[in-house]
Amino acid sequence: MKLFRHGKKGHERPGILDAAGRLRDLSAIVADIAGPVLLPKGLDALHSIDCETLPFVAPGERIGPCVGHVGKFVCIGLNYADHAAESGMEVPAEPVLFFKATSALCGPNDDVVIPRGSTKTDWEVELGVVIGKEARYVSVTDAMDHVAGYCVVNDLSERAFQLERGGQWVKGKSADTFGPIGPWLVTRDEVSDPQSLAIWLEVDGIRHQNGNTRTMIFGVAEIVSYVSQFMSLQPGDIISTGTPPGVGLGMKPEPVYLRAGQEMRLGIEGLGEQRQKTILETDSRSR
């Protein structure tokens, strides 16, 4: 299944794609794509629905973040060896964990706001893993049983805030709109191998990232198991699993960063595409 959320910010409603790829509204069936709906029992119930009986979503309606009420937005850093190299950092012996604030979450096609004082806002396309069943101290063997599905994530970063201001990376990762997710939550049964997915990102039509999840250092099962050793993972939690090379920080002969008025387009094989325009924080206040 491909599940999504639609409507105005803060008032999104649940939806599902029918067999023809048309957007249908799920509001009469479930309250949101969140919490218990993501449990195996909840997803099984959605599988049994006759989508042809559901109303269509109005043409042109905004697509929101594909998961609601996200409790944790966990990220994995430096999870592609070639990205670690372009960042001038060593390949980690264990997964590097950090968080994005959940207030960074936004829809896949919402404007990305370059924050006040930013000089180094950067892009990062990533595979997102959505937890569907509580995970506590799970083994690598059992980890995939706790995954509801996958989504596209743009793990936007302000590199000066992240790397030059001291402390933890979270400061450069958590600005409002720095966490577009979706358009769809694609359930696990539709992704035969999450370690074999093409992943890419373009800025103004120029492809900068063009990788595949097979080159991840730590795969999805390893990551879910690893994170669950340090904290419980709850239905609706999101893990963003790292980015392939081609970020602005790694551009040669010198880094290239986002400016207002640009457009990003990014996607992952089978999971859909995102498209965002960049605007300044002052511009966003007038909207």
DSSP 166-211: SS-GGGGT-STT-EEB-S-EEEGGG-S-TTS-EEEEEETTEEEEEE
Across the strands, what pairs with 96? Answer: 77
pLDDT digits (tens, 9 = 90+) for 132-155: 999 999 999 999 999 999 999 999
Q: Supply 242's token pair.
A: 């790292």
pLDDT digits (tens, 9 = 90+) for 230-272: 999 999 999 999 999 999 999 999 999 999 999 999 999 999 9
pLDDT digits (tens, 9 = 90+) for 158-197: 999 999 998 889 999 999 999 999 999 999 999 999 999 9
pLDDT of 286 reads: 53
Q: What is the phi/psi pair of residue 106, to 5°?
A: -155, 175
In the chain, what are the domains? 65-284 (3.90.850.10)
Contact 154, 133 (CB under 8 A): no
Give how far the C-alpha of residue 256 lies from the chain's centroid of Cα atoms, to the nearest Å: 22
